[in-house]
C-alpha cells in the first residue's frame, strides 16, 4: 500500500507541476502580449509628442524668420538712405539692363549667323539620306520593304563593312531591334575570329 500512496503522491506532484507550468506559460504569454502592445503604445505616444514638437519648432522658426525679415528690411532701408549705396544700387540696376540688352543682341546675331547655314544643312542632310538609301538598295535591293526575318536571313553573306553600314542605316530608319541585335552578334563573331 505504501507503493500506491507514493505513486499517488508522485502523480499529484506531477499534476501540480504541470498545472503550475501551464499557468506560468499563460502568465508569460500575457506579459509578452502586454509588453508588445505597451511598446506600440509608447512608440505612438513618442510619435505624437515629436509631431507636436516639430509643429512648435516650425511655428518658432516662422516667427523668427518674420522678425529677421523686418530687421533686414529696416537695415536695407537705412542703407539706401546713404547716397553712396544708392549710387551702387542704381549702377547695379543699370548694368543688369545693359547686360540684358547686350545678351539679347548677341543671341539675335548668333541666330542670324546660324540661320544662313540652315538651308545648306537641310540640303546636305537630304543628299546624304538619298545617298545612304541608294547605297542600301545596292547592298540589299528592297531593304526597306523586307521584313526583319528576311533581312536576318541574308546577313550571313554580308562582309563586316557592309554590316556596319546596315546597322547605321537600320538604327536611323526603322530601328528594328531584331535586325540590330543580329548584326551586333555577327560583328562580335567577326571580331572574335580576328582576335583568335
Interval 118-143: pLDDT, tens: 777 778 777 777 776 777 777 788 88
Query: Does the pTM exceed 0.85?
Result: no
Q: Cβ(174)–Cβ(144) under 8 Å?
A: yes
CB neighbourhood size of 52 (10 A): 10
Average confidence (pLDDT) over 81-88:
78
Query: Is pLDDT of 23 > 90?
Result: no
- Residue 185, pLDDT score: 92
Query: Is pLDDT of 9 > 60?
Result: no
pLDDT in tens, 162-189: 889 889 888 988 899 999 999 999 998 8
129-136 contacts, C-beta under 8 A, 24 or more apart: 132/169, 132/172, 135/165, 135/169, 136/165, 136/166, 136/169
Rg (CA), the chain: 43
Amino acid at each position: 500500500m505504501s507503493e500506491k500512496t507514493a505513486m499517488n503522491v508522485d502523480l499529484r506532484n506531477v499534476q501540480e507541476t504541470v498545472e503550475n507550468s501551464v499557468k506560468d506559460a499563460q502568465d508569460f504569454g500575457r506579459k509578452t502580449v502586454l509588453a508588445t502592445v505597451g511598446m506600440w503604445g509608447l512608440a505612438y505616444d513618442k510619435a505624437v509628442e515629436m509631431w507636436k514638437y516639430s509643429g512648435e519648432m516650425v511655428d518658432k522658426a516662422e516667427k523668427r524668420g518674420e522678425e529677421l525679415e523686418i530687421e533686414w528690411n529696416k537695415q536695407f532701408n537705412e542703407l539706401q538712405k546713404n547716397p553712396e549705396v544708392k549710387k551702387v544700387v542704381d549702377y547695379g540696376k543699370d548694368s543688369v539692363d545693359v547686360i540684358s540688352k547686350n545678351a539679347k543682341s548677341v543671341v539675335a546675331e548668333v541666330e542670324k549667323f546660324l540661320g544662313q547655314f540652315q538651308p545648306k544643312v537641310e540640303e546636305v542632310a537630304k543628299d546624304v539620306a538619298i545617298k545612304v538609301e541608294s547605297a542600301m538598295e545596292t547592298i540589299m535591293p528592297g531593304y526597306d520593304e523586307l521584313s526583319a526575318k528576311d533581312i536576318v536571313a541574308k546577313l550571313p553573306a554580308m562582309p563586316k563593312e557592309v554590316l556596319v553600314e546596315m546597322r547605321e542605316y537600320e538604327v536611323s530608319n526603322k530601328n528594328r531591334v531584331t535586325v540590330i541585335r543580329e548584326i551586333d552578334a555577327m560583328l562580335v563573331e567577326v571580331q572574335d575570329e580576328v582576335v583568335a
